[in-house]
A and B are shown apart, each in its own frame.
Chain A
Amino acid sequence: MSERLSVLKTYKLFVGGKFPRSESGRVYEVTDAKGTWLANAPLASRKDARDAVVAARKAFGGWSGATAYNRGQILYRVAEMLEGRRGQFVHEVADAEGLSKSKAGLQVDAAIDRWVWYAGWSDKTAQIAGSANPVAGPYFNLSAPEPTGVVALLAPQDSSFLGLVSVIAPAIVTGNTTVVVAAEAAPLPALSLAEVLATSDLPGGVVNVLSGRTAELAAPLAAHQDVNAIDLAGAGADAELATELEKAAADNLKRVLRPQPVDWPATPGTARLLAFLETKTVWHPMGA
């Protein structure tokens, strides 16, 4: 009896809740840590990046307008769905990062737990980042955080899944929508995460996932006039690129999160959570 031939997966981009191929028709070879071919991933183009921004902008009103309770439920749902497909992600992370199954398992477990951790933040950020302001006059005065808008995330290159989740979850839990550029050499866990997100009640367009050359995709995103913020984590190894992107981002005064070394398994703290928020202060006279 011959051995069964396995069914290979065609990996696709994730834009606006759909799974298109790159409009450029391009792919690139993704290999494991030893150089063995794993799959052909879409090599996304500048046009794909722009389409993803359009999808993210379209999704912003609904997602930022959803209740914090609802957003928290959906992030928790992502954790539930991931738990069910744990084996697949352990396999992909092990291949991508050259880890043993048990070490990859720890990464995946930490990533699932991170969704749970951030799910709980949805209805607490306003309480830790907002304030009632005792102004010197008969006014009601309240400050509350709001999402900054469309955020471009360059996923870290050194952690294909835990690092990826650690930049997506804090950006979306507060109501931002995102365009994510997956780790260039290890995009498969990100493309598979998209399948999980698509079945987790997350509205289409809240997370858009692109695979390809980080530098090629980051340039139009950093320069895009309808992107409000950019996380440069994935450009960290290339200081010159990070500087160029920050300069381009100045053109519409994007909020920039500069790259810095991060210990991904450690508890993240609130820095990434608060980096993509604006503070809105509302005044109203008081009187009978």
Chain B
Amino acid sequence: MSKFKKKKSGDMPAVNTASLPDIVFMLLFFFMVATVMRQNTLKIENNLPFADQVEKLDKKDLVMYIYAGKPSANYVQYGKEARIQLNDDFASVRDVAAFVAAERASKREELIPFLTTALKVDSDANMGLIGDIKQELRKVNALKINYTTKKGSVLGRD
């Protein structure tokens, strides 16, 4: 009889968690490979619109980013209208020309004609702001632009 009793007594064996680090490492490596470090801290909402006729921006070092959108929750003191963000701070339309000049100065001279301006604009922004930016870009002769969008259907998501 005592034989059977012996089996029942004793604690539950501990669950073996030895494979947990492996799983987490797998996730970690996925994120390390699939993502890039944040370049700019966004102070605006940046919910890009959808489009399906997109082309890939392949030369990353030849792209300058202009962000625009409504100030995000932490920056409500800057109002509710869509604003431009260049590098890490809010900017006005007048600063675009200086920004382009600075970006150009940081690149090699022969690469300057290939610079593309990527407009990362929140989908709820007004076209007035974009029109102003485009006008500024025309003034400084930065004519290649790219409306950065997420890949997806236009019609289904409105």
**A complexed with B:** no
- Chain B residues in contact with chain A, CB under 8 A? none
